[in-house]
Amino acid sequence: MSLIVQKFGGTSLDTAEHRLLAAEKIKQTIENGNMPVVIVSAMGRKGMPYATDTLLNLARKDSVDICGRESDMLCSCGEVISAVAMVQTLKSLQIEAASLTGAQAGIITDENYCRSNILKIIPNKINEILKKKKVPVIAGFQGSSENGEITTFGRGGSDTSASIIAAALNAELIEIFTDVKGVMTADPQVVKTAQLLEKADYSEILEMANEGARVVHPRAIEVAAAVKIPLKIRSNFDNAAGTLVTNFKPDKIISAVTSRDDIVFIKLENNGQQNLQIFSLLAKKGISADFIDIIPEQITFVIDRENKKVAIELLQNLPNTIEERLSKVSVIGAGMTGIPGVMAKIIEILQKNGIKIYQATDSHTTISCLIAKKDKNRAVKALHSAFCIEMEDSE
Query: Above 60 in pLDDT, residue 82?
Result: yes
pLDDT band at 57 (very low <50, low <70, confident <90, very high): confident
For residue 139, which phi and psi values (nearest 5 degrees)?
Answer: -70, 120
Neighbour tally for 62: CB within 10 Å:
7
CATH 3.40.1160.10 residue window(s) in the chain: 3-179
**Residue among 323, 321, 264, 313 nearest 288 (CA):** 264
pLDDT at 310: 87
Instruction: Give me the mean pLDDT over the 125-138 stretch.
Output: 97
Q: CA separation (Å) from 362 to 11, 250, 272, 288?
A: 34, 19, 27, 16
Least Cα distance to 166 among 224, 232, 247, 215 occurs for 224
How many CB atoms are located within 10 Å of the residue 186 CB? 25
% of the chain with per-residue pLDDT over 70: 97
Q: Report whether 159 contacts 218 (CB < 8 A).
A: no
Residue 44 or residue 193, greater confidence? 193
Residues near 249 by beta carbon (within 8 Å), at least 6 away in sequence: 201, 334, 335
Interval 323-332: pLDDT, tens: 999 999 999 9
pTM here?
0.88
CA–CA dist 64, 62 (Å, integer): 7
What number is the average pLDDT over the span 114-138? 95
C-beta separation of 297 from 267 below 8 A: no
Residue 19 burial (C-beta neighbours within 10 Å; 0-12, 13-18, 19+) = buried
**Structural contact between residues 309 and 350, judged by C-beta atoms closer than 8 angstroms:** no
- Cα 199 vs. chain centroid, distance in angstroms? 18
- The residue type at 23: A
Cα 247 to Cα 242: distance, rounded to the nearest angstrom: 16
Average pLDDT, the chain: 90
- Distance between CA atoms of 213 and 157, rounded to whole angstroms? 15
Mean pLDDT of 99-105: 97
- 13 vs 22: CA distance, rounded Å: 8
Instruction: Pinpoint the residues of the chain covered by CATH 3.30.2130.10.
Output: 257-387
Give the single-character DSSP code of 51.
S
Model confidence band, residue 390 (pLDDT cutoffs 50, 70, 90):
very low
* Contact partners, residue 358, CB within 8 Å, separation at least 6: 265, 326, 369, 370, 371, 372
* 246-302 confidence digits (pLDDT tens): 998 888 889 999 999 999 999 988 876 667 788 888 988 878 899 999 888 889 999
Best mean pLDDT range from 124-138, 144-158, 242-256? 124-138
For 3-179, CATH number? 3.40.1160.10
| Region 117-130 average pLDDT | 96
Q: How confident is the model at residue 395 (pLDDT cuts 50, 70, 90)?
A: very low
The residues with which 290 forms a beta bridge, in sequence order, are 302
CATH (one of 3.90.230.10, 3.30.930.10, 3.30.2130.10, 3.40.720.10) for 257-387: 3.30.2130.10
- In 3D space, the residue among 232, 50, 230, 208 whose CA is nearest the CA of residue 141 turns out to be 50
Bridging pattern class, strands 142-145 and 173-178: unpaired
Quick one: pLDDT at residue 190?
Answer: 93
- Please give the C-alpha separations between residue 180 and each of 196, 214, 241, in angstroms, as whole numbers: 10, 11, 12
Is the per-residue pLDDT at 76 higher than 80? yes
Question: How many CA atoms within 13 Å lie on the side-chain side of 159?
Answer: 22
